[in-house]
Amino acid sequence: MHTKLGIFLVFLLATIIIAPAYANVTSVALEKSFYINEEEITFVGQRQEGDKFVYIIIRDSTGAYKGMLSDPTSESDGTYSTIPKTVSQFFDSEGTYNATAFTDSQKEEFGITIKLQYDGDKVSVLPDFVLTLNSIPDKTIEEKKTLVFTSTLTESLTGVTFSLEKNPPMGASINSQTGQFTWTPTESQGPNSYVFDIVVKKGSSEDRENIKITVTEPAPVIQPEPTVEESAPVTEPEPEPTQELGIASFVDPKKDPQSYVDRYNNEPTYKKWFDENYPEYSSIYEAVGLEKPKEIASFVDPTLDPQFYIDRYNNEPQFREWFDANYPDMTIYDAIGVDKPEIKEQEMGQCGPGTILVDGVCTPDENQQGGGCLIATAAYGSELAPQVQQLRELRDNSLLQTYSGTSFMNSFNDFYYSFSPTVADWERENPAFKEFVKISLTPLISSLSILNYVDMDSEASVLGYGISLILLNVGMYFVAPAMLFFRIKKAKTRLSF
């Protein structure tokens, strides 16, 4: 009995010593960083010594079997490399796949698994880390000064590489391992702005951040005031109240004064420096010896004659009402940036009926019914022209004094003011058209002058004279030209025979 037990123990010990240990796979990876569809894919890795046969099974994200690669003759040191096979044999749709490496003794469920990503064109290992740069704010630096900052990641990783891409400024550099950016812009590189990318890579993964760096000119150097020895105190005489400040000391006479104005308007740091150090000047224009331009309203077209807006304000009630409602703190002269003319009342005479004196200018009385005679005013050049006054007096003193006349004017105004502002603009823009309108108005005004010699003190008289004048003007403007046309045509016909 003891002999048999001894033999069994010896056999068991020999089996343990002689039999090889299980050879499990310890690592698996792609031989290249990625493979395209037409290439043959190969897996490499390491296994424990023992069994030499290694299997790699590929499954999709649902666990469906897609194929197998193997290495039946792995090296004695434990390294293996599978027999190459075409990528398209295993990957047919975009998505994530699992590649599991194992040996006969290890089995698939205990193997080593890596995840693969297929985008339709190539397959690569899906990284198990997140490569993300922290946001980089825009930077500002003066010429000849050095800008230094470090790009960082959202999580600490090793083996990353930093670089600059998309047209970085000349002279700028970044440490490929630490991400420290360094740049000293030259005088010729400012003032200007530079936009480019800072890129970080790890394997096939990449992230980038866009950055903008603005280079400015250096602020003027403020010269210290000279010190005065206590033994010889010097007292400066106080300037006279009317003494002018003159041009500021920091102004270089060789430079264009407008360049200082542009810097003041476009660089907040320069504006702050000037306001703090030269409060005695009312503006940057005074400091550099320029006349401060007058600010004009936003609606003003600088290509038009300012008188165009003055005429519209004086002659078009709708434009006047719109301007007064939207610019209550400005006059029309302030809005267009010109000085208001100084016209004395005794020099310009008494305003005619239908107008009142406002700020030295005769303007239509808003309390009067109806509006201004826009076409006639543009034709004769002024509200004070005798022809315009005649039309206004006829309207206000005769027609508007009766019910039928008022009704007629209300209907006429709706029609007249639908086109008269446009015609008035054409007259102001085209002198030839203005003269044509003036000639066309002459018969009308002449016929209306008849009413100055009759009494229109009743509804009947207004209707009678009004209808008569309408027929008279129809005859002058339409019937007479038509008859003349036909007579000329008839005379030409006779001559032809």
**DSSP string covering 206-268, please?**
EEEEEEEEEEEPPPPPPPPPPP--TTS---PPPPPTT----S-TT--TTS-HHHHHHHHHH-H
Query: Alpha carbon 364 to chain centroid distance?
Result: 43
DSSP symbols for 154-167 = SS--SS-EEEEESS
**pLDDT given at position 352:** 42
Does the pLDDT of residue 62 top 80, yes or no? yes
What's the pLDDT at 424? 79
Task: Tell me how many helices (H) and strands (E) the chain has.
Answer: 15, 20
Say if residue 12's pLDDT is above 50. Answer: no
In this predicted structure, the answer to whether residue 423 has a pLDDT above a threshold of 60 is yes
Q: Across-strand partners of 41?
A: 85
State residue 118's pLDDT score: 93
Of residues 322 and 352, the one with the higher pLDDT is: 322
Same domain assignment for residues 355 and 461: yes
Mean pLDDT (whole number) for 254-264: 88
CA distances from 67 to 28, 87, 120, 142, 262 (A): 16, 11, 17, 62, 71
pTM of the prediction? 0.32
For β-strands 205-216 and 139-142, DSSP reports them as parallel
What amino acid occupies position 433?
F
Residue 302 lies in a domain: no
Under DSSP, the state recorded for 476 is I
Q: What pLDDT, in 10s, does the model give residues 409-418? A: 777 777 777 7
Average pLDDT over residues 391-399: 73
Residue 227 belongs to some domain of the structure: no
Mean pLDDT, residues 180-198: 93
Q: How confident is the model at residue 289 (pLDDT cuts 50, 70, 90)?
A: confident
Report which listed range, 122-126, 146-150, 228-232, is most confident. 146-150
Range of the domain at 160: 139-216
| pLDDT grade for 382, boundaries at 50, 70 and 90 | confident
Based on the domain organization, do 29 and 92 belong to the same domain? yes
Residue 393 sits in the same domain as residue 476:
yes
What secondary structure letter does DSSP report for 153?
A: B
The answer to whether residue 84 sits within a structural domain is: yes
| Structure confidence by residue, pLDDT tens digits, 99-108 | 999 887 777 8
Least confident of 29-38, 41-50, 271-280, 358-367: 358-367
Which domain CATH number covers 72?
2.60.40.10
Mean confidence (pLDDT) of the chain: 78
CB 359 within 8 A of CB 344: no
Quick one: 118 and 187 in the same domain?
no
Domain tally for the chain? Answer: 4
Q: How many CA atoms lie within 13 A of 376 on its CB side?
A: 19
Mean pLDDT of 213-233: 69
Q: Which of 43-47, 56-60, 76-80, 309-313 has the highest mean pLDDT?
A: 56-60
Residues 466 and 352 grouped into a single domain: yes
Indicate the Cα dihedral angle 44, 47, 51, 54, nearest 10°.
-30
Tokens of 27: 């690592």
Does 418 lie in the same domain as 365? yes
Taking alpha carbons only, the member of 280, 235, 234, 286 closest to residue 260 is 286
* Together in a domain, 31 and 75: yes
Q: How far is CA 325 from the centre of its chain?
A: 29
Residues 105 and 178 in one domain: no
16 falls within a domain: no
* 383 shares its domain with 448: yes
Question: Quick check: is 118 in a domain?
Answer: yes
Is residue 452 a part of any domain in this protein? yes
Q: Residue 269: what are its φ and ψ, rounded to 5°?
A: -65, -40
Is 355 in the same domain as 386?
A: yes
Higher per-residue pLDDT: 299 or 82: 82
Name the token pair of 165: 């891409």
Asked whether residue 28 falls in the same domain as residue 106, the answer is yes
Last residue of a domain, one of 75, 92, 125: 125
Q: Is residue 426 part of a domain?
A: yes
- Per-residue pLDDT band for 254 (boundaries 50, 70, 90) equals confident
pLDDT at 472 over 60: yes
- For the stretch 19-50, pLDDT in tens is 344 568 888 999 988 999 889 999 999 887 66
Mean pLDDT of 234-260: 72
Q: Would 82 be classed as within a structural domain? A: yes
14 has pLDDT over 60: no
Cα separation, 39 vs 44, whole angstroms:
16
- The pLDDT of residue 291 is above 60: yes
Confirm if 114 and 29 have CB atoms less than 8 A apart: yes
Mean pLDDT of 151-171: 91
We report the CATH number of the domain holding residue 181 as 2.60.40.60
Q: Following DSSP, what letter does each residue of 398-464 receive, concatenated?
A: TGGGSHHHHHHHHHHHHHHTTTHHHHHHHHHH-HHHHHHHHHHHHHHHHHHGGGGGS---SHHHHHH
pLDDT for residue 255 = 87
pLDDT digits (tens, 9 = 90+) for 433-446: 888 888 877 887 77
Say yes or no: 118 and 145 in one domain.
no
